[in-house]
C-alpha cells in the first residue's frame, strides 16, 4: 500500500507543478490545490498506514501498552489542511481582484497591461 501512496503523491506533485507552470491563473490555483493535497498525503503516508489502536491510556494504567497510533501526523495534516485552505482562499480573492482589474486571467496579458 505504501508504494501505491508514494506513486500517488508523486503524480499529484507532478500534476501540481505542471499546473503551476500554465499561463492561466485559474490553473495556477488548481496547481496550488494539487500540491497541498500531495503534501497532505505525504504526511499521512509518512505516519504509517497500519491500523492501530487509539493512543488512550486505559483506566487504572500508568502508561500505554502495545502498539498505538501516532497522533502527530494527524495533527500535522489537520494543520496543513487549515493552512492550505487559507492560502487557497487568499489566492482566489487575489485572482478575482486581478481579473476585475485586468479583465483577463492570462499572466502575459496582465504583465502587458501594467503601466
Rounded mean pLDDT for each run of 10 residues along the chain, 115 residues in total = 90 95 87 93 82 76 78 88 93 87 76 63
Q: For 100, phi and psi rounded to 5 degrees?
A: -65, -40
Question: Within its chain, how far is the Cα of 114 from the centroid?
Answer: 32
How far CA 70 is from CA of 48, 55, 60, 88, 109, in Å, comes to 9, 7, 22, 28, 49
User: How is domain 2-49+71-112 classified at the architecture level of CATH?
Assistant: Orthogonal Bundle (1.10)
* DSSP letters for 70-111: -HHHHHHHHHHHHHHHHHHHHHHHHHHHHHHHHS--BHHHHH
The pTM for the full model equals: 0.75
Amino acid at each position: 500500500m505504501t508504494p501505491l501512496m508514494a506513486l500517488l503523491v508523486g503524480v499529484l506533485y507532478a500534476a501540481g507543478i505542471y499546473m503551476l507552470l500554465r499561463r492561466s491563473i485559474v490553473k495556477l490555483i488548481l496547481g496550488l490545490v494539487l500540491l497541498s493535497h500531495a503534501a497532505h498525503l505525504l504526511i499521512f503516508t509518512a505516519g504509517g498506514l497500519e491500523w492501530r489502536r487509539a493512543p488512550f491510556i486505559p483506566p487504572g494504567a500508568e502508561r500505554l501498552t502495545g502498539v498505538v497510533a501516532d497522533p502527530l501526523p494527524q495533527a500535522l495534516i489537520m494543520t496543513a489542511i487549515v493552512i492550505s485552505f487559507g492560502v487557497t482562499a487568499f489566492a482566489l480573492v487575489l485572482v478575482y481582484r486581478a481579473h476585475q482589474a485586468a479583465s483577463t486571467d492570462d499572466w502575459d496579458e496582465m504583465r502587458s497591461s501594467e503601466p
